[in-house]
Amino acid sequence: MEDILILAIESSCDETAASVVKNGREVLSNVISSQIDIHTLYGGVVPEIASRKHTERINQVVNEALIQANVTMEDITAIAVTYGPGLVGALLVGVSFAKGLSWAYDKPLIGVHHIEGHISANFIDNKELKPPFICLVVSGGHSHLVKVKDYGEYEILGRTRDDAAGEAFDKVARVIGLGYPGGPKIDKVSNEGNPHAIEFPRAKVADNEYDFSFSGLKSAVLNYLNNLNMKGEEYNQADVAASFQQAVVDVLVSHSMTAVSEYGFDKFAIAGGVASNSHLREALKKACEERGVEFYMPTPIMCTDNAAMIGCAAYYEYLKGHRSGMDLNAVPNLRLGER
């Protein structure tokens, strides 16, 4: 069979990324141009700035991906692009560019769901992994517990009712003076802290045992800090970070394991930016081992926003014959499983 080469483009948030993926799982190039230095100045991602930077960099990033993969546009089978969910202005840059490129070359276009991309990152780093499995997707914008029934077929078991897990990390990091981005900073400083110094609440959502809620936890951290502040006492940054993180990890692990047992799956995977949190990876690995469940995780680089994962997801879409038209639009609140 002839090789299928997907050129994938991702611009849903603050990374401009492009990749060439061969036959779904072999990454020939994975270029990520991060804007984090600029957004750090503002304490978080500024959508308008992100969109402007994507526009400036997209050609260079796509070119670099082709060069590193040692292929030309002529070799490319199809062009894939993230069309949601994400920041609408940022998504539009990738979508418009991909459509222009696809039109100029008469190459098929495949719109890809960002979260499907994150889940598919597991296929790249775990060549033997095949659906079905349960996947926990946790990032700055998303917290989903998903049943992956087949390639491109998903059932959402639970989602966050308020803040995404990564959002909670960012907010707590800000109030305890760690700054942006919160995830890696809390992960690191937690190594020095006692995760049980403060027992923050582990929220349960009454009508769906798989849904998450992190805003209560965030408030509990704020209240704890305010109380100490009013008493004129200092707080221990590492203890607060470690205890907060433990509360998040506990909830994520317990929800995940409940799903694994309930559905009787023997495979479990994680995905998304928060999936590179070392404490979460360790805890899930242990929980899976205890239950005899095979645990899969992408490498940390594949957990961040990247285009290789989009190329991987697109490959299976391509095989199914899914194609996008020239009217493909950015859909900022695109739901998983929607087309």
Partner 1 sequence: MKILAIESSATVASVAVVNDNVLEALYTICHKITHSQTLMPMLDEVAERIELDKKSIDYVAVTSGPGSFTGLRIGASTAKGIAMGLNVPIVPVPTLEALAFNAYGVEELICPVMDARRNQVYTGIYSFERTGADFRLVTYLEQTAMDLGELMDKLNSMGKGVLFLGDAKDIFAERIEAGLKCDYAFAPVHMNRQSAAALASAAVRKIASGEYVSAGDFAPTYLRLSQAEREAKEKGNN
Judged by CB under 8 A, the residue of 5, 13, 28, 98 near partner 1 is 98
Q: Which stretch binds partner 1 (CB under 8 A): 141-149, 228-236, 263-271, 325-333?
A: 325-333
Q: How far is the CB of 98 from partner 1 (least distance, A)?
A: 6
Q: In terms of CB distance, is 109 or 157 closer to partner 1?
A: 109
49 vs 71, beta carbon nearer partner 1? 49
Interatomic CA distance for residues 15 and 164, integer angstroms: 19
Distance CA 110, CA 97 (A): 13
Q: Which stretch binds partner 1 (CB under 8 A): 22-30, 203-211, 276-284, 321-329?
A: 321-329
Minimum CB distance to partner 1, residue 44 (Å): 9
Q: How far is the CB of 63 from partner 1 (least distance, A)?
A: 7
Tokens of residue 268, six digits: 């479990």
Among residues 1, 206, 230, 326, which is the contact residue for partner 1, using CB under 8 A? 326
Q: Pattern of binders to partner 1 over 38-77, x per CB under 8 A?
A: ---xx---x-xx-xx-xxx-xxx-xx---------x----
In the region spanning residues 223 to 262, those forming contacts with partner 1, defined by CB under 8 A, are none
Q: Whole-angstrom Cα distance, residue 335 to residue 7? A: 23
Residue closer to partner 1, measured from CB, 65 or 252: 65
Nearer Cβ to partner 1 (84/193): 84
Question: CB neighbours of 282 closer than 8 A, spacing ≥ 6?
Answer: none
Q: In angstroms, what is the minimal distance from the CB of 97 to partner 1?
A: 4
Residues in touch with partner 1 (CB under 8 A): 41-42, 46, 48-49, 51-52, 54-56, 58-60, 62-63, 73, 88-89, 92-106, 325-327, 329-330
